[in-house]
Amino acid sequence: MNIMSHGHCPVAHIYGPVKSPSMATGNLGRLLNRSPKIQVYMNRIAGAVFGGIAFKLATANADT
**What gap in Å lies between CA 31 and CA 45, rounded to an integer?**
17
In the chain, what are the domain boundaries? 9-59
**How many CB atoms sit inside 10 A of residue 53's CB?**
10
**Residue 2 clears pLDDT 60, i.e. is over it:** no
Please tell me the least confidently modeled range out of 15-19, 26-30, 37-41.
15-19
Indicate the range of 9-13, 25-29, 30-34, 48-52 predicted with least confidence.
9-13
3-state helix, strand, coil in the chain (%, to 5): 85, 0, 15
